[in-house]
């Protein structure tokens, strides 16, 4: 099996037509690195304004253009770009395993090695369904290109210098694909993105979404194929252009972040359970009165139930150190007079980067006090005592747990790092079913080895003076 067809797909609109010639030149340069008989096609989907004259007609050149018109939301347009009859007829000449789809925005540029690296990766790994590489952002103006600043190091981002066309650029290192990085579009694979047609079709391709369409697609690929179906090239393969015609406004950024959070809320646990199963780690649900037919490996509660083992959370937990990737504690910790001990035990059981899904009623509402069995009370800020060394030091070293860890006399870090945290509501049941109470929902990643792999999001690791 080997890749026989490379399809580059590019949605465009009147605000990006002027850049299509440069995009075409970058495709041609990248295509020169690919040996025959690999066929290459460029599918351009024009959203409004008619077919622009800026689209080159390669004719007998190495890359063949297919130009169609369409309208609608960006996710649907991307899918149309790879399913319209002109390009579909070409793709059906090959097995879906032998076709890859390369996303190139109309105003961006491919690195000359981009297509070659993608083809090499898919040929080397038959199980691969998505390939992605690092990306440099630039702004073009009358004086030439200008490098954009790197993403925030405070959120875990790392960057490196790269010699682009005519100047030094800053490249943001992409993250490995996993449940933690798929928690936010900020850490999800950015350009370059390349899909094997087989997997793309199996999960339904791009959804007809106005925003977060690529992030949504990556999550669905992970749920179906898991971590092993992804590969990242640790080099810059894509140049992302920033310019005044881009449509994303400040409100648009807020909308994107809101949609990203919705996707995580609906899929976060499923992504984590998938990863746990694939990697051979345990998943544990604490506080279950009855075990569902699927999902977790083990279910524990104070009292035995169908499929549920009894467990005194204040005693010893039957879990080896670093054996779990997922622990869910939904409406459990508020029943403990000593929640620090349970948090410490969860930390011990989780692997580095393992995820604790917790939900507790907020002390600002009746839900925290109406239940006479509640023994501890939580505010949204309570998480700081487990994620921020400044606060964690006040409960460090106590018999209840060890919220502050140290690699040396100078570097100290908290047990957990926040992946997501939000205040929501929970509808009550029975005679109170017409009422909602505020709750805190959070996902925390266990920090076992700060020198190990990066965990996305803000960390509060601090240098402490000896």
Asked whether the predicted pLDDT for residue 190 surpasses 80, the reply is yes
Kindly state the average pLDDT of the residues 181-210: 95
Q: Residue 292 in 3-state DSSP?
A: coil
At residue 338, the pLDDT reads 87
Kindly state the average pLDDT of the residues 321-331: 95
DSSP secondary structure string for all residues of 182-231: GGSTTTS--SSEEEEHHHHHHTTSS-S-SS-HHHHHHHHHHHHH-GGGEE
Instruction: Return mean pLDDT, the chain.
Output: 86
Phi/psi at 254 (nearest 5 deg)?
A: -60, -40
At residue 444, the pLDDT reads 95
Taking the C-alpha atoms of residue 86 and residue 219, their distance in angstroms, rounded to an integer, is 29
CB neighbour class for 453 (10 Å; exposed up to 12, middle 13-18, buried from 19): exposed
Q: How far apart are the first and last CA of the chain?
A: 59
- pLDDT above 90 as % of the chain: 52
CA 172, 176, 181, 185 torsion-angle sign: positive
Asked whether the predicted pLDDT for residue 401 surpasses 70, the reply is no
- The 3-class secondary structure across 125-181, one letter per residue, is CCCCCEEEEEEEEEEEECCEEEECCCCCHHHCCCEEEEECCCCEEEEECCCCCCCCH
At residue 464, the pLDDT reads 36
Q: Where does 324-365 have alpha helices with state H?
A: 339-349
Asked whether the predicted pLDDT for residue 223 surpasses 70, the reply is yes
Question: HSE (CB half, 13 Å, CA atoms) of 388?
Answer: 8
At residue 242, the pLDDT reads 84
Model confidence at 292, pLDDT cuts 50, 70, 90, reads low
12-16, 59-63, 358-362: which has the minimum mean pLDDT? Answer: 59-63
- Contact (CB, 8 A) for 177 and 271: no
Phi/psi at 205 (nearest 5 deg)?
A: 65, -165
Where is pLDDT greater, at 343 or 289? 343
pTM for the full model?
Answer: 0.92
- Contact (CB, 8 A) for 386 and 459: no
Question: pLDDT tens digits, residue range 105-162?
Answer: 999 999 999 999 999 999 999 999 999 999 998 887 777 778 887 788 878 888 999 9
């Amino acid at each position: 099996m080997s890749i026989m067809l490379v399809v580059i797909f590019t949605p465009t609109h009147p605000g990006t037509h002027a850049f299509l010639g440069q995009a075409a030149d970058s495709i041609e340069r990248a295509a020169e690195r690919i040996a025959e008989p690999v066929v290459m096609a460029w599918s351009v989907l024009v959203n409004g304004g008619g077919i622009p004259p800026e689209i080159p007609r390669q004719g007998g050149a190495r890359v063949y253009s297919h130009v169609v018109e369409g309208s609608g939301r960006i996710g649907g347009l991307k899918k149309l770009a790879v399913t319209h009859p002109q390009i579909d007829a070409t793709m059906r000449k090959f097995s879906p395993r032998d076709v890859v789809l390369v996303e190139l925005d109309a105003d961006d540029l491919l690195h000359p090695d981009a297509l070659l690296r993608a083809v090499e990766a898919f040929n080397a790994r038959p199980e691969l369904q998505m390939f992605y590489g690092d990306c440099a952002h630039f702004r073009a103006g009358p004086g030439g290109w200008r490098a954009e600043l790197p993403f925030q190091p405070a959120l875990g981002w790392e960057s490196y210098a790269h010699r682009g066309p005519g100047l030094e650029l800053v490249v943001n290192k992409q993250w490995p694909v996993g449940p933690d990085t798929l928690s936010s579009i900020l850490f999800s694979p950015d350009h370059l993105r390349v899909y094997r047609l087989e997997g793309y079709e199996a999960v339904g391709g791009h959804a007809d979404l106005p925003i977060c369409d690529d992030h949504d697609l990556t999550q669905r690929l992970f749920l179906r194929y898991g971590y092993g179906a992804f590969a990242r090239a640790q080099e810059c393969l894509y140049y992302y252009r920033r310019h005044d015609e881009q449509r994303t406004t400040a409100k648009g950024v807020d909308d994107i972040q809101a949609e990203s959070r919705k996707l995580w809320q609906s899929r976060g646990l499923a992504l984590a359970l998938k990863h746990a199963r694939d990697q051979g780690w345990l998943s544990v649900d604490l506080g279950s009165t009855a075990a569902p037919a699927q999902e977790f490996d083990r279910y524990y509660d104070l009292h035995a139930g169908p499929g549920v083992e009894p467990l005194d959370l204040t005693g010893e937990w039957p879990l080896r150190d670093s054996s779990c990737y997922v622990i869910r504690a939904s409406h459990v910790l508020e029943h403990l007079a000593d929640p620090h001990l349970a948090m410490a035990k969860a930390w011990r059981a989780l692997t580095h980067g393992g995820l604790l899904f917790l939900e507790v009623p907020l002390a600002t509402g009746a839900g925290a006090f109406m239940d006479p069995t509640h023994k501890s009370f939580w505010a949204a800020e309570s998480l700081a005592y487990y994620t921020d060394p400044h606060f964690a030091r006040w409960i460090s070293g106590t018999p209840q747990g060890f919220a502050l860890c140290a690699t040396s006399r100078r570097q100290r870090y908290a047990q957990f790092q926040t992946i997501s945290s939000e205040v929501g509501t929970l509808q009550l049941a029975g005679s109170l079913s017409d009422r909602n109470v505020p709750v805190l929902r959070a996902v925390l990643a266990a920090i076992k080895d700060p020198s190990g792999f990066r965990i996305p999001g803000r960390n509060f690791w601090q240098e402490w003076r000896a």
